[in-house]
Amino acid sequence: MPSLETSFCGLRLPTPFVNGSGTLDALVSGTLGVSAFVTKTVTLNPREGNPPPRIAETPAGMVNSIGLANPGLDRFLEDDLPRLAELGVPIVASVGGWSPGEYATAVARIGAHPAVVAIELNVSCPNVESGCISIGTDPRETRALVERCRRETDVPVLAKLSPSVTEIEAIATAAAEGGADGLVLINTLRGIAIDRATLRPLLGGGGGGLSGPAVKPVALHAVFHAYAATGLPIVGMGGVAGGSDASEFLAAGATLVGIGTALFRDPAVVARAALELAEELERRGASGPEDLVAAAHPPTSTSSRA
C-alpha cells in the first residue's frame, strides 16, 4: 500500500488527516488517529461559550452555536499546552480575537512553545458578535491581521477562512499578500435553526454555523478557487467522512484534509478514511497523496502553484 506521508509548510506528517478546530478534545478522548492535533480556538480571555441549546441536527449535518468556549490564553498555556505536548503529535494552535492586537499577543506567546508547529488564525467563527468573522470577511483587514501575526512568530501561520463571503478568491489573496504560509477552508457556513414549536431561533446563541456532509460542495468550491487564486498549501475540510471525500479535497487543491462533524458520529473515522485513501491511491497507481493534489485544476492554473 502506498505511504500516506505528506509534506505541509515544511512539516512531514504520516498522513494528510487532521481534525477541524473545535471538533476534538484530545485531552479527553485521545487524538483518534490525526497526524497533527488542531486545538479549539483560543482567545485572550476565557469564554464560557453561548447558552444552550448549542447544537441542532439538520439534513446531512448540524448547526452549532458554541461561542468559542475556551479557557483563555493564560490557562491554555499553563494547563493545556504542556499536556497536549505529551500526546506525541504535532500541535497546531487555533487563535481567535476581537482586534489584531489580541491575535498578535496570542500568536507570539503560543508560537514560542516548542510543541506548536503552526498557528491557525480563526477569522471565520460565525458564533461571536463582531471580531473574528468581521475581520475574515474584509480583504483589507484580513491582509493587515495576517501581516501583523506573521511578524510575531517563526512557525507557519495559516488563515482559516469562512465560506460565507461573496468572493473567496479576494479573501484568500489578501491572506496570501499578508504573508500567510497556508490556508484552512472552510469554517462553518452561517446558518440558523428555527424551533418548530415556538417559531423562534432554536439555538441559545441565535444563529449558528452549518457543518457536516451538507456543506461539502461549498467547501470543495472554496478550496478549488482559493488554490487557483493563491497556490498556497491548503487544509481542506467541510463534510469529510471518508477516503473518497479526502481524494476530492486533494483534487480541489488541498494538501491536508480536516475532519470535524464526522468525528462526532464515528471516532474511528480518521483511521478508516486513511485506509480508504491508501486503497484508492493503490488502485490509481499513485505513489502518495501528493499525486492527487490539484488534479481537478486545468493545466493552465499550474502557473500559480507554489
Chain positions contacting other proteins, by CB under 8 A:
22-25, 28-30, 32, 40, 48-57, 59-62, 64, 66, 69, 212-213, 261, 263-268
Strands 208-211 and 61-64, sheet pairing: antiparallel
Residue 221: exposure state from Cβ atoms within 10 A (0-12, 13-18, ≥19): middle
164 binds, among ligand FAD, ligand FMN, other proteins, none (CB under 5 to 8 A by kind): none
Cβ 55 to ligand FMN shortest distance, Å: 7
Residue among 208 and 231 whose Cβ is closer to other proteins: 208
Number of chain positions touching ligand FAD (CB under 6 A): 5
Active site residues: 125
- 195 belongs to the binding site for ligand FAD (CB under 6 A): yes
Q: Which does 196 bind (CB under 5 to 8 A by kind): other proteins, ligand FMN, ligand FAD, none?
A: ligand FAD
41 binds, among other proteins, ligand FMN, ligand FAD, none (CB under 5 to 8 A by kind): ligand FMN
On the CB side of 75, CA atoms within 13 Å amount to 9
Of 59, 88, 154, 197, the one binding ligand FAD by CB under 6 A: 197
Q: Which residues of 285-299 are buried (b: 16+ CB within 10 A; e: fewer)?
A: ebebbbebbbebbee
For β-strands 116-122 and 157-160, DSSP reports them as parallel
The reply to whether omega before 213 is within 30° of 0 (cis) is no
User: In which element (H, E) is residue 283 found?
Assistant: helix 269-284
Q: Does 196 bind ligand FAD (CB under 6 A)?
A: yes
The residues that bridge with 57 in the sheet, in sequence order, are 62
What single letter denotes the amino acid at residue 20? G
Length of the chain as a residue count: 306
Among residues 28 and 197, whose Cβ is nearest to ligand FMN? 28
Q: Which of 229, 93, 103 is nearest to 174 (CA)?
A: 229
Taking the complex as a whole, the smallest distance from the CB of residue 257 to ligand FMN amounts, in Å, to 9
Of 25 and 74, which CB lies nearer to other proteins in the complex structure? 25
176 binds ligand FAD (CB under 6 A): no
Give me the least distance between CB of 261 and ligand FMN, in Å please.
3
Q: Would you say 20 or 139 has its CB closer to ligand FMN?
A: 20
Interface pick for ligand FAD out of 107, 121, 158, 193 (rule CB under 6 A): 193
- Each as own residue / partner, the long-range contacts of residues 267-272 (CB below 8 Å, 24 or more positions apart, any chain) are 267/29, 267/32, 268/32, 268/33, 269/241, 269/242, 270/17, 270/19, 270/32, 270/33, 270/34, 271/32, 271/33, 272/242, 272/243
| Segments of 67-192 assigned E as strands | 91-95, 116-122, 157-160, 182-185, 189-191
Interacting span for ligand FAD (CB under 6 A) from 5-13, 196-204, 255-263, 297-305: 196-204
Please report how close the Cβ of residue 46 comes to other proteins at its closest, in angstroms.
10
In the bound state with ligand FAD, the residue whose beta carbon lies nearer, of 46 and 201, is 201
Shortest CB 114 distance to ligand FMN, Å? 23
Which of the ranges 73-81, 84-92, 194-202, 210-218 carries the binding residues for ligand FAD, by CB under 6 A?
Answer: 194-202
Binding string to ligand FAD for residues 92 to 111, with x set by CB under 6 A, is what? --------------------
Scan for cell 500567510, then name that residue: 180
- Cα–Cα distance for residue pair 260/154, rounded to 1 Å: 27
- Which residue is associated with the grid cell 469562512? 162
